[in-house]
Structure 1
Amino acid sequence: MKYYSTNNKNRKVTLREAVIEGLAPDNGLYMPEQIPVLPPSFFQTLHERTFKEIAYEVAQSLIGDDLPKTELGRIIDHTIQFDAPLVEVEKDTFALELFHGPTLAFKDFGARFMSQLLGYFAKEQKQEITVLVATSGDTGSAVANGFLGVEGTRVIVLYPGGKVSDIQEKQFTTLGKNITAIEVDGTFDDCQSLVKQAFLDGELKQKFFLTSANSINISRLVPQSFYYFYAYSRLVKQNKPVIFSVPSGNFGNLTGGVLASKMGLPIYKFIAATNVNDVVPVYLETKEFTPRPSKQTISNAMDVGNPSNFARLNDIFGGDHNAITDFIKGYAFTDSQTSKVLAEVYANKGYLMDPHGAIGYLGLRQYREENKSDFIGVFLETAHPGKFKDTVEHVIGAPIHLPEVLQNFLQGRKNTIKLGTGEYKNFKKLLLEELVSA
């Protein structure tokens, strides 16, 4: 399988090149040359397959012969070490819980897959691979923990100071070893911009082997399609259309679902549910994609004003606005709406959501109000509510139990490098100093 840049379909590279480069030299995102459609026999037996079996077949069809089958099997085995249960919250409405991994966030799937794939390619390198990642919360913790101790790699996490929860921050600032955290005085978009500029910097690329672990990297996108297949496998016998509501920030998770649908998974529709950072819902309504500075919310992992994966969504649909809006419905919600529904569902249904899952639930509920058709709705619970302990406890007016893994992170000692301004020249200077001294 070859991979092309969304900015130039004539530029095609191998899987190894796409994963190691992360971002294409022309600032585009890599996409598979062809999106394979899985055979009818796969879907006929989908309900009989395990999560690992489903993930292997999906990955094999996308990766092809770029990786030995035994190696792909090992990577899948490492990635799928925890379940993604479906919990029925109310009639025909399910939460897909993606927070049962080591950092209690959906990004554990992508980070674990990528760390092993990049680790495999790193063995062929004489030079250490430096992984740059910008985070609005959960990406940093998942990537840092996924790459912790992986030979031949070094991880540098950039995050906006004061704009992630205390627990999220502790999950990537207390690890040490091959993980370095840089606290940026700015927003997630500032962090993401710095990472992208570094990849296009000739001097840095000449001195260091840089790659990205954000969802701009194709190896993050592939595993984010797995759990859509797995969720559907447990709903297929209900004989109703299935709609997924995806809380969205950088839109990698939604893109993974759309990729699954293009591979033949019969998803009826997607809902792109955002907080007030509503660049994509506005685009769906107006055809105008206008990035803008992000606003801080209680669903901080979605505080993105210029979602990178929009380029992939646009590419998948060939830039056809009508095709996109026919398949994806967008909604945006305020903190007040998020808090209100989080409290209501907990009080009336006994199910505790995190702020991001609450936005997914809101998107599904609004779609139901506007469309009276009979369907199964699945909203993605992307993180454990304990990761937002202060916010959730304030909303429900009661203490919540923290899983032991989160309690352990809280006991760690924070160690960061502060970047006083988001100017690229300052970041480059710091990066050169940090990597040279390593």
Structure 2
Amino acid sequence: MKFTSTRGGIEPTSLDLALAAGLARDGGLYVPESVPVSETKQAEATLAQTATALLEPYFVESRLREALPAICEDAFDFQAPLRPLASDNAWLLELFHGPTAAFKDYAARFLAGSLARLRDPAAAPTTILVATSGDTGAAVGAAFHRRPGFNVVILYPHGRVSPRQAHGLECFGDNVRAFRVDGSFDDCQRMVKQALGDESLRARVPLSSANSISLGRLLPQMAYYAHNALAFHADRGEKLNFIVPTGNLGNALACWLARRMGLPIGDIVLGSNANDVLPRYFAGDEYVPRPSVATLANAMDVGAPSNFERLRWWHRDDAELRAAMRAFRVDDAMIRETIRQAPQRHGVIPCPHTAVGLRVLEQLRDAGDPKPWAVVATAHPAKFDSIVEPLVGRAVEPPPALAAWLARPAHAEPLDASYDALRAMLAS
């Protein structure tokens, strides 16, 4: 299978080259030339086995083909359980059981395992460049920490992540450096894309990406949707529908791609915060990126979702795309109210992003929708203690892995929100 760019400016290339590059040379995002139909039917398989079966068609011509089961075993060695909510016919897909307590742990570990096996041991170290709105940076830092042949540069918007998120970005040291950017996530993302498209810089400093623009992040995220949809369908004989809190659109796109491959997934609904570019578009407005605004659900503070380019590439026109999913807007006042009521109404304490999904569930129920819904829980609420604990009136204990990195010293360096500043740092 070959992979091409959403902008059509390159010759189709191999998966291995697409994984190593991160971003296509024409500035587009890599996509498979065609989407295979999955033959995965094993409802009783492990999460790692489901991931392997789902990804095999993409790796047929890859040097990683034989290593794929081992990569998946390493990346998916913690579960993604589907827990029933107190509300009827609804579940929570818990994706926060990894080392940094966020859903991005799965794909970051998969990408790290893949790039480590593709890397020429004699080559200069590769710098993994990542922009983060809160959770991506910590997951990537943990996945690549102390891996030989790799350095990690994390860019995050100063003052726009929770204190515990910031600590998780800054606590690694060694081959991982964190930079607090005087700007928004959109600024960080723009700077990363400029660096990845700078051929003269890449000739001096080998670069790759670990954002959701990377195929190595997008493709493995299909696994937990496929795994739970298969088990649900085998148990109940119906498709599971998903509510996905979304910012840069990578996690939701992975759910859509799994459905496109033939997995028993029903409707997909996006939950956005006050950065409502996607709800406006799916309601019929033109797609118009906007400057991002800071919200309680900060990992979703994205005004120009990168993966929309992929989503549009896979659909013939706006009408077809708007028929593929829906999107709802949830503002900060709604997030606070949902967190406050969630223990009684749903039987859980959510993080602000998961609260967006729960609020969308409530809106669907109020509109008379009886279908089985799974709300995607993207992060552990303990990462947002300063927001969650005052609202629920109790302490939220961090899981052991989160507590361990909170105990580490943390350090970040300041960086201007300009590409010149980033380029000078990387070149030095």
- Normalised by the length of structure 1, the TM-score is 0.94
Once the two structures are superposed, the pairs formed by residues 58-69 of structure 1 within 5 Å of their partners are 58-69=54-65
Paired residue type of 1:204:
L
In 1: Cα distance, 2:376 partner to 2:337 partner: 18
> Per-residue CA shift, 1:42-98, capped at 9, x if unaligned?
33xx32222121111011122223134431111011011100111111221000000
1:310 and 2:308 are equivalent in the alignment? yes
Matched, 1:406 2:402: yes
Q: State whether structure 2 residue 264 is matched by structure 1 residue 266.
A: yes
Amino acid of the structure 1 residue aligned with 2:302: V
CA 1:67–1:365 in structure 2 vs 1: closer, same or farther (change >3 Å)? farther
The one-letter code of the counterpart of 1:67 is: R
| 2:169 matches 1:152 | no
Deviation at 1:267, TM superposition (A): 1.7
Residue pair 1:4, 1:33 contacting (<8 A) in 2 also:
yes
2:420 counterpart (419, 425, 430)? 425
Shift of the alpha carbon at 1:242?
Answer: 2.2
Aligned to 1:220: 217
- Residue 158 of structure 1: SS of its match in structure 2? strand
Contact kept in structure 1, 2:335 and 2:352, CA below 8 Å = yes
C-alpha distance in 1 between matches for 2:64 and 2:349 = 42
- Asked if structure 2 preserves the Cα contact closer than 8 Å seen for 1:271 and 1:364, the reply is no
Deviation at 1:9, TM superposition (A): 6.9
Question: Hey, what does 1:436 align to over in structure 2?
Answer: none
CA separation of 1:57 and 1:241: change in aligned 2, threshold 3 A: closer
Structure 1 residues 301, 125: closer, same or farther in 2, change over 3 A?
A: farther
Superposition pairs of residues 157-168 of structure 1, within 5 angstroms: 157-168=154-165
Aligned to 2:180: 183
CA–CA distance in 2 between the matches of 1:10 and 1:153?
A: 27
**What corresponds to 1:288 in structure 2?**
286
Q: 1:235 aligns with which of 232, 235, 238?
A: 232
| Alignment of 1:34 onto 2:29 | no
Aligned-partner Cα distance in 2 for 1:183–1:68: 35
CA contact (8 A) 1:167 1:409 kept: no
User: How far apart, in 2, do the equivalents of 1:102 and 1:404 lie?
Assistant: 9
The answer for the alignment partner of 1:72 in structure 2 is 68
| Preserved CA contact (<8 Å) 2:64 2:114 | no
1:51 is matched with 47
The answer for the alignment partner of 2:80 in structure 1 is 84
| Deviation readout 1:172-217 (Å, 9 max, x if unpaired) | 2111111011110011000000001111223211101111100000
Q: What's the counterpart of residue 16 of structure 2?
A: 16
Q: Secondary structure at 2:409's aligned position in 1?
A: coil
Residue 431 to residue 10, structure 1, CA distance change in 2 (3 Å): closer
Match of 2:348 among 343, 347, 351: 351
Is 2:196–2:207's contact at 8 Å kept on the other side of the alignment?
Answer: yes
Structure 2 unpaired stretches of 5+: none
2:299 is paired with a residue whose SS is: helix
1:367: Cα distance to partner? 2.3
Q: Could you say what secondary structure the match of 1:66 adopts? A: coil
C-alpha distance in structure 1 between counterparts of 2:242 and 2:136, whole Å: 21
What displacement does 1:122 show? 1.4
* SS at 1:235 equivalent: helix
Question: In structure 2, the residue corresponding to 1:224 is in which secondary structure?
Answer: helix
Render the CA deviation track for 1:254-308: whole Å, top value 9, x for unaligned: 0101110111013221101100001111111124111111110111100000110
Partner of 1:135 in structure 2?
Answer: 132
Say if 2:117 is the partner of 1:120. Answer: yes
Counterpart of 2:372 in structure 1 is: 376
Letter matched to residue 341 of structure 2: E
- Structure 1: runs of 5 or more not aligned: 434-438
Deviation (angstroms), 1:401: 1.4
Deviations 1:305-346 (A, max 9, x none): 01100001111223x222222220110111110111121121
After TM superposition, the runs of 4+ consecutive aligned structure 1 residues lying more than 4 A away are: none
The answer (yes or no) to whether the contact 1:190–1:422 under 8 Å persists in 2 is yes
1:198 maps to which residue? 195
SS in 1 for 2:11: strand
Q: Is the 8 A contact 1:354 1:384 kept in 2?
A: yes
User: What CA deviation, in whole Å up to 9, does each residue of 1:360-416 have, x standing for no partner?
Assistant: 1122222233343x4210110000000001100021122221223222222222211
Distance 1:9 1:430 in 2: 29
* Higher helix residue share: 1
In the alignment, residue 430 of structure 1 is paired with which amino acid? M
Is 2:230–2:264's contact at 8 Å kept on the other side of the alignment?
Answer: no
Distance apart, 1:15 and its partner CA: 1.0
Aligned length: 426
> Aligned pair in 2 of structure 1 residues 200, 69: CA closer, same or farther (>3 Å)?
closer
> Percent of aligned positions with the same letter in both sequences?
37
What do the CA deviations read for 1:12-59 (whole angstroms, capped 9, x no partner)?
1111110111111111000011110013xx33xx32222121111011
Whether contact under 8 Å (2:82, 2:92) holds in the other structure is yes
d(CA) in 2 for partners of 1:364, 1:240: 18
2:25 alignment partner AA: P
One-letter identity of the residue aligned with 1:348: R
**How high is the TM-score relative to the length of structure 2?**
0.96
8 Å contact kept, 1:294–1:303: yes
Equivalent-residue separation in structure 2 for 1:196 and 1:6 (angstroms): 15
